Amino acid sequence: MGAHWLAFEGVLKSGDGHLLTKAVQIAKDSGADIFELVGKPINQMDAMETAGAVLSGGISEVSYCRFFPDDGSLGDPMGTDQLEFAYRTMRADIDFIDLLRFEGLTVKHITGPSCFMLGCDYGNYSTPHETVEDAIYFYSLVRDQVEDMQLQVNMEYLRREEDLALGGLDPIREICSELGPNFRWHGDTFHMSKRRVNWVQEILSAAEDRHGVPLLGYLHAHGHDRGLPGLQTADDLGSFDTFDGWVGLFRALDLIDYKGPLVAEPFGAVVREQIPVLGDGLPPAIEPSMYYRNTLDFLRQTSQIALERFP
């Protein structure tokens, strides 16, 4: 079970480690044992301060969320004029993870809509396959380092209106099959719901790539519009965010033998104030400790019922 930086804080600068420590403490006290960090420009602290803050909060395992602003400030691997820029950014991320490990943190996962999955229009591509080829080429540049460090890069597709690049499981399957087992799918119940994708069917279809390797490597699990899970009813058209829907999700995870993290990613009040677009269309933010206590209790309850119904 995991908690996400953006539920508690937004941009943290050098010297703000005490704020991160407080967030991690709340996450741990609420039942989380993994904390999902974010990269620059959100986290402006160095690796020593970042790792020290997390460890002081009582958690030692983190994942590393990479999402890019849509202004091109960190490079765009789908734009040929920015490919080198994006490559340097990704290498800097990987080097930062190496430093976090040196400072005592366990880091196994890179998550999120990374360079290759940024939710914006990458350009005028003639076919989706051309975009897939660009993503494969970009990640081939860092594949050796990712493999040497035994990192797992998890690719997340987004909502239709913000993901004009790859946007779906099939392209991710193709990319992962080409790059190897260190590149996997980052599933997200929010984005699946917004695409009217059946969670259970999508997860079962991710049992393996074309080489027989499990495709699902990481899962963000939260309710409708990033809220508390299980509040929807069976009458909500297209919603799988029901009690039985979550039991079915855990049954599907069991069938594909998923052993990765489950992390809820609500956007808290602080980051919504700093980046208002992150709160567009969402209900008001919930206080983090209440959110995570209720969410983790609900996920444990429904996962246990799934085991009882399907021993």
Q: What is the per-residue pLDDT across 45-82, written as a single tens digit (0 to 9) for each? A: 999 999 999 999 999 999 999 876 666 666 666 666 67
- Residue 279 class from Cβ within 10 Å (0-12 exposed, 13-18 middle, 19+ buried)? middle
| β-pair partners for 2 | 34, 263
Confidence of residue 260 (pLDDT cuts 50, 70, 90): very high
Rounded to 10 degrees, what is the CA torsion of 1, 146, 65, 251? -30
| Cα distance between residue 41 and residue 27, in whole Å | 22
CATH of the domain at 16: 3.20.20.150
Mean pLDDT, all residues of the chain = 88
Residue 293 has pLDDT above 90, yes or no: yes
Number of domains in the chain: 1
Q: What is the pLDDT of residue 268?
A: 95
Residue labelled with tokens 């010297």: 15
> Which structural domain range is residue 128 located in?
2-309
Tell me: the pLDDT tens digits for 79-95?
A: 666 778 778 888 999 99
| Cα distance between residue 270 and residue 36, in whole Å | 17
Tell me: the pLDDT tens digits for 159-175?
A: 877 776 777 899 899 99
Residue 150 has pLDDT above 80, yes or no: yes
Run of H or E including 279: none
